[in-house]
Amino acid sequence: MKGDDKPSPLEAEGYLTVLAELRDRIGSAQVRAAVAVNTELVRLYWQVGETLNRKVQEAGWGAKVLERLARDLKLSFPELSGFSPRNLRYMRQFAAAWPEPEIWQEALAKLSWYHHLTLLEKLETAETRLWYAKATLEHGWSRNVLVHQIVFRALERQGAAQTNFTRTLPAPQSDLAHNLLKDPYSFDFLNQGQAAHERDLERGLINHMRQFLLELGVGFAFLGNQYRLEVGGEEFFLDLLFYHVKLRCYVVLELKVTAFRPEYAGKLSILPRGGG
């Protein structure tokens, strides 16, 4: 065998096999983490709904009390948006639909809140909801696929027999796992919603940088994203940094997913102004 025909050291050591194994492990760990967060979120929503249903029966709480509760929760947790009056009503429906938590926790706790809303809105009985919930988990259906299966009556087409339900967690490659990893309710629950969406926006711009630069016009040179600066002994990171070769100046872009606030401009005033 000629010397240049020998496998590279990486190939000889099984690098690609190890890489594939680590990718699988990381993907599975991400799904387990997302399921754990989602399970706590769903359990919390059920507990809130059960408490509200009990108070409606015991103390006659009505719509006005729910609206006040939503406002007070917003004051206590201003970063959360999942406790609106409408979502509180959904929590009540959720708890009423599953009065015994041990019946639904195994399957339903692993589905996103959007899946739960679909089950509540489009199905009438606990038996059909549970069948579609288990089928969703087994096959990794996204919410849109779940809606499609309900509309085209998958239960009737496949018979009333329960699914084998052999999968305890959604596969990392499934649409369900993708939903769980990007569920805005989970990000909201963890106080990470805005930052996570801004990172998605930044990644999208980086992935389409050529088109983005063409939109900006001629003369822009891209220097980097999350560009590190040290000012007064403190570290700062710029979302996107450009240099304009005709104007001979730097252009800084800070990405936000909310409406403009004056403090956003104020944060940029700390940057050094030398060099254009």
Quick: pLDDT tens for 187-232. Answer: 566 665 555 556 665 666 666 665 666 666 778 887 877 777 777 6
Residues 31 and 113 in one domain: yes
pLDDT over 80 (residue 111): yes
Q: Are residues 84 and 164 in the same domain?
A: yes
What three-state secondary structure class fits 45? Answer: helix
Indicate the number of domains in the chain. Answer: 2
Give how far Cα 201 sits from Cα of 72, 136, 186, 198, Å: 31, 29, 18, 5
User: Each residue of 230-271: pLDDT tens digit?
Assistant: 776 666 778 788 888 888 888 887 777 666 777 667 666 655
Q: CB-based contacts of 235: which residues, under 8 Å, 6+ apart?
A: 228, 229
Residues 141 and 31 in one domain: yes
What is the rounded distance in angstroms from the CA atom of residue 210 to the CA atom of residue 222?
Answer: 10
- SS3 state at 242: strand
Residues 217 and 139 in one domain: no
The pLDDT tens digits for 120-156 are 999 999 889 989 988 888 888 888 889 988 998 888 8
Per-residue pLDDT at 120: 93
What would the two tokens of residue 165 be? 């339900």
Cα–Cα distances in Å, from 102 out to 107, 127, 193?
Answer: 10, 15, 30
Residue 95 lies in a domain: yes
The CA distance from 126 to 100, in Å, is: 11
What residue numbers bound the domain in which 259 lies? 196-268
Residues 16 and 134 in one domain: yes
pLDDT band at 4 (very low <50, low <70, confident <90, very high): low
Distance CA(176)–CA(139), nearest Å, equals 8
